[in-house]
Amino acid sequence: MTINAGRHFVTIDESAAGERLDRALAAALPALTRSRVKALIEGRRVALAGGQTIEEPSRKVKTGERFEVDIPEPEPAEPIPQSLALDILYEDGDLLVLNKPAGMVVHPAPGNPDSTLVNALLAHCGDSLSGIGGVRRPGIVHRLDKDTSGVMVVAKNDRTHVALSKLFAAHDLTRIYQALVWGAPKADRGRVEAAIGRHPVDRKRMAVRRSGGRHAITDYWIEKRFGPPLQPLASLVGARLGTGRTHQVRVHLAHLGCPVVGDPVYGRKSRNAKAPAALVDFARQALHAAVLEFRHPTTGKEMRFATELPQDFSKLVQSLNSVK
């Protein structure tokens, strides 16, 4: 028996009341084993319909509760090495730092089985990548969205992977992004401290949540405004992550009312007739991971890597200098 990927809804009847959540869902979805259901719950893929994400398999269910189970697409086959260009900023026996181009997926996934960063790393590093991420994500400690460019660090052995993962988990490193956004935040600089979780209706999106989200902090500052001073058409914004939630910069900037230009999920088209075509038609989210700073796990040396805006992003910004 098989079950299709996607969203499945389960309503708890009286006979299941008081059961563990994993046991109740496994009984309602017989194509899934209890262990598989447990993994989905712990992977934040089960939620009360239209509400809070559930992470406890042992949670007792109540009559009438309706749960949404998000079953992912099957994992792709084990990735193969592919000789693809890499912009390597630094490399030693423990780690590798690179500048990921926009348009490159980090690891194979449904719809993107190859030509990913992992395929390129396998060709470049051979067997010298950490295995903690599994065969489909060797060396991958953190990720950037497909259409986000910028600095990433990759682990070349398990010891380094563990150490780097601890830095990311403790937010004991510096990550700074640059984003071109519609309009401008009201304050020249500030902090967004708003929990982020799955959107209550569209589970593929993230959203600021009053309940059920995870604590998230983004510090931001305006680097340059474009257009009328009192009502800018767009602005270049810097953002420092205080936490590392999925789509955090994109969600928090949209929460400020200034979505990232070109963002297909959280963005919007400008209704300003004066907006130049280059801005309106920018083909991807204008977001760049500009700076990464961390302490080297082996040497203890403070490492800092900074990259310029990629050509398409830089060209767009330059074109806005003439906007009045």
Mean pLDDT of 83-97: 97
Q: How far apart are CA 74 and CA 158, in angstroms?
A: 26
Residues 102-117: pLDDT tens digits? 999 999 887 788 899 9
Contact 252, 258 (CB under 8 A): no
Predicted pLDDT at 87: 98
**Closest alpha carbon to 164 in 133, 197, 205:** 133
**Closest alpha carbon to 24 in 52, 75, 63:** 63
Predicted pLDDT at 137: 87
Predicted pLDDT at 75: 66
Residues 214-273: pLDDT tens digits? 999 999 999 999 999 889 999 999 999 999 999 999 999 999 999 999 999 999 777 677
Q: How far apart are CA 192 and CA 28, in angstroms?
A: 40
Q: How many other CB atoms sit within 10 Å of the CB of residue 127?
A: 8
SS3 (DSSP) at 176? strand
Contact 108, 136 (CB under 8 A): yes
Q: Is the pLDDT of residue 308 over 80?
A: yes
Contact 210, 220 (CB under 8 A): no
The tokens describing 171, both together, are 């937010």
Residue with tokens 């990913």: 116
Domains of the chain, with CATH numbers? 6-71 (3.10.290.10), 88-170 (3.30.2350.10), 174-320 (3.30.2350.10)
Mean pLDDT of 111-135: 89
Q: How far apart are CA 236 and CA 318, in angstroms?
A: 11
For residue 29, the surrounding DSSP H or E stretch is: none
Q: How many other CB atoms sit within 10 Å of the CB of residue 324?
A: 7
Residues 145-190: pLDDT tens digits? 999 999 999 999 999 999 999 999 999 999 999 999 999 999 999 9
Q: Measured between alpha carbons, how far is residue 151 from residues 100, 141, 193, 313 in Å?
A: 6, 12, 24, 15
Percent of the chain, pLDDT > 70?
A: 98
Predicted structure pTM score: 0.79
Residues 289-301: pLDDT tens digits? 999 999 999 999 9
Q: How many other CB atoms sit within 10 Å of the CB of residue 246?
A: 16
Q: Which residues belong to the active site?
A: 145
Residue predicted with more confidence, 73 or 312: 312
Predicted pLDDT at 103: 96
Q: Is the pLDDT of residue 76 over 70?
A: no
Predicted pLDDT at 256: 97
